[in-house]
Amino acid sequence: MPDVSLPFSERIRDERPERRLAAVAEALKPGAERPRTEDVAPLVDDADESVRQLAVVLLGQMGAAAVPALVRALGQKQPTLIRAFAASGLAQAGSGASPAAEALGTCLASPEESLRIPAALALSRIGASALPVLRRALAAREGPTAVLAARSLGWMGRDASPAAEDLKRLSASSSGETRIAALAALAAVTGSAKDLGPLTAIVQGSDRALRKEAIDRIGELKDLGRGLAPVLRRCLEDSAAPVRASAALALARVGSREAETREALIRLRKDPDVQARFHAAIALAPFGDSVAQTLREMAGDSDAGVAAVAAAGLHAMKASATAPAQAPKG
């Protein structure tokens, strides 16, 4: 058994990797005392991959002081999983991770989606100082690098306004998923509903895969995408199950609470596609008591996931109904 009475700085110098691993695992437990960043940072270069993995997860919880070590963990000699953990940790550091912007930009060109997505999220959280990296990445024009760069700018919102012209050029010169990502990002960056027109045209087009992609990106626009609720409701009747499922989730994400949305989602409760029913259950829960009977029905769904989501929605309603009212202010 490891001697937990020893300080972390001594336990991680144990020659046995299982002891070093146990020390980091102990530090990750809820309520555990956090070790010093300078004691954890060297573990990024530990000979044991499992120790490196847990150390990077721990560093991701330690804020800006851990950024230099996390940048080392992004190195191309590290396994993809460790690099992805490092990118996720840098996302948690927010603007404090600005020294990692160039290294994260390199990750956008990775062939591994599991690394590209957390890198894009981290860049969006860094904010303005990541703009030069993302604007260069847009120059790739086609492929996942440009797609994730555009989406990252969209997640950044108005702070990415200096890149608006870059996004316009990309949307005009590209096609498919890249064009959709650029159009959605442009709408998020400008905050203008008029930029949603081209996305609406794609949703109403004949290409099922592009319809689904456009719907997914509209969902990311949240409040700005709410004006497209009528378009999304029509997609709940699409012949393609993935389109119906994406439309249900997008309606939840944009916060559509109209009665028409509620009734359209209720009709989806018996959809033959499991994912469509699953997303419908998610989207119905915020409607409260008016959909209680539907959620009770869906709680008996043959799919465990659908049943669980419906039951969770009913539980949330019950908890809300029994919660004590807040005392009036003043």
pLDDT digits (tens, 9 = 90+) for 123-144: 999 999 999 999 999 988 768 9
Single pTM value for the model: 0.87
Q: In this predicted model, what pLDDT tens digit does every residue of 152-200 receive, in sequence order?
A: 999 999 999 999 999 999 999 999 999 999 999 999 999 988 889 999 9
Q: In the structure encoding, which two tokens stand for residue 49, read together?
A: 């991959």
For residue 186, which amino acid is it? L
Q: In this predicted model, what pLDDT tens digit does every residue of 37-47 receive, in sequence order?
A: 999 999 999 99
Best CATH choice for the domain 206-212+219-319 from the list 3.30.70.100, 3.40.50.300, 3.40.50.720, 1.25.10.10: 1.25.10.10
pLDDT at 129: 95
pLDDT interval class at 328 (50, 70, 90): low
Q: Would you tell me how many other CB atoms lie within 10 Å of the CB of residue 42?
A: 13
User: Where do the structural domains in the chain lie, given as residue ranges?
Assistant: 1-126, 128-191, 206-212+219-319
- Residue 1 confidence (pLDDT) above 60: no
How many whole angstroms separate alpha carbon 323 and alpha carbon 26? 36
Nearest C-alpha neighbor of 120 from the set 148, 140, 143:
148
Q: What is the mean pLDDT of residues 12-21?
A: 94
Q: Does 1-126 match 206-212+219-319 in CATH topology?
A: yes
How many whole angstroms separate alpha carbon 154 and alpha carbon 121? 10
pLDDT interval class at 3 (50, 70, 90): low
How many whole angstroms separate alpha carbon 112 and alpha carbon 148? 12
Superfamily of domain 1-126: Leucine-rich Repeat Variant (1.25.10.10)
CB of 52 within 8 A of CB of 78?
Answer: yes
